[in-house]
Structure 1
Amino acid sequence: MFKNKYLLLTCVFYMFFSCKTDKPINFTETNITSENNQIVEINIPLANTDNDAAKSINAATKDYVIKALQIGESNNTTEKSVEESIEDFNQEYTDFINDFPESTQKWEAQIDGEVIFKAQDIISISLTSYTNTGGAHGNLNISFLNFDTSTGKLLDTNALFTDIEGFKSMAKKHFEASIKDKDLLLDPETFQLPENIGYSDDGIILLYNTYEIAPYSSGILEFSIPFEDAKPYLVFNRF
Structure 2
Amino acid sequence: MLKNKFISIIFCFILFNSCEEESKISFVEVKITTENNDSVEINIPEAIGDMTIAEVINSEINHTVMSALHIGDSENITSKSVEESIDTFNKEYKNFMNEFPDSAQVWNAEIDGEVIYQSDEIISVSISSYVNTGGAHGIFHISFLNFSAETGKRIPNGNLFNDITAFKNMAKTYFDTSIKDKSTLFEKDNFTLPVNIGYTEDGLILAYNVYEIAPYSTGLIDFTIPYEEADDYLVFKGSR
Please show how residues 26-41 of structure 1 align to structure 2 within 5 Å.
Answer: 26-41=26-41
In structure 2, the partner of 1:107 is 107
Alignment partner of 1:199 is 2:199:
yes
Counterpart CA distance in 2 for 1:20 and 1:154 is 24
CA contact (8 A) 2:79 2:85 kept: no
In structure 2, the partner of 1:84 is 84
Alignment partner of 1:44 is 2:44:
yes
CA contact (8 A) 1:40 1:86 kept: yes
Query: Could you tell which deviates more after superposition, 143-152 or 67-76?
Result: 67-76
| Per-residue Cα deviation, 1:166-213 (whole angstroms, up to 9, x for no partner) | 11011011111111x346444564100000000001100000001111
Letter in 2 for 1:146: N
Identity %: 51
Counterpart CA distance in 1 for 2:172 and 2:117 is 23
Letter in 2 for 1:224: T
- Structure 2 alignment gaps of length 5 or more: none
Q: Secondary structure at the match of 2:165?
A: helix
Call closer, same or farther: CA 1:46–1:184 in 2, change over 3 Å. farther
In structure 2, the partner of 1:93 is 93
In structure 2, the partner of 1:16 is 15
Alignment partner of 1:209 is 2:183:
no
Q: Secondary structure at the match of 1:103?
A: coil
Between the two proteins, the alignment pairs up a number of residues equal to 237
Letter in 1 for 2:19: K
In structure 1, the partner of 2:236 is 236
Alignment partner of 1:223 is 2:196:
no
Call closer, same or farther: CA 1:21–1:63 in 2, change over 3 Å. farther
Q: Secondary structure at the match of 2:193?
A: coil
Q: Secondary structure at the match of 1:37?
A: coil
Letter in 1 for 2:191: F
Deviation at 1:112, TM superposition (A): 0.6
Call closer, same or farther: CA 1:29–1:94 in 2, change over 3 Å. same
Structure 1 residue ranges (4+ consecutive) displaced by more than 6 angstroms after TM superposition = none
Letter in 2 for 1:41: E
- Structure 1 alignment gaps of length 5 or more: none
CA contact (8 A) 2:182 2:188 kept: no
Q: Secondary structure at the match of 1:55?
A: helix
Letter in 1 for 2:163: D
Letter in 2 for 1:203: G
- In angstroms, what is the RMSD of aligned CA positions? 2.2
Letter in 2 for 1:44: I
For normalisation by structure 1, the TM-score amounts to 0.90
Call closer, same or farther: CA 1:75–1:145 in 2, change over 3 Å. closer
CA contact (8 A) 1:176 1:188 kept: no
Counterpart CA distance in 1 for 2:96 and 2:207 is 34
Deviation at 1:8, TM superposition (A): 6.4
In structure 2, the partner of 1:151 is 151
CA contact (8 A) 1:28 1:46 kept: yes
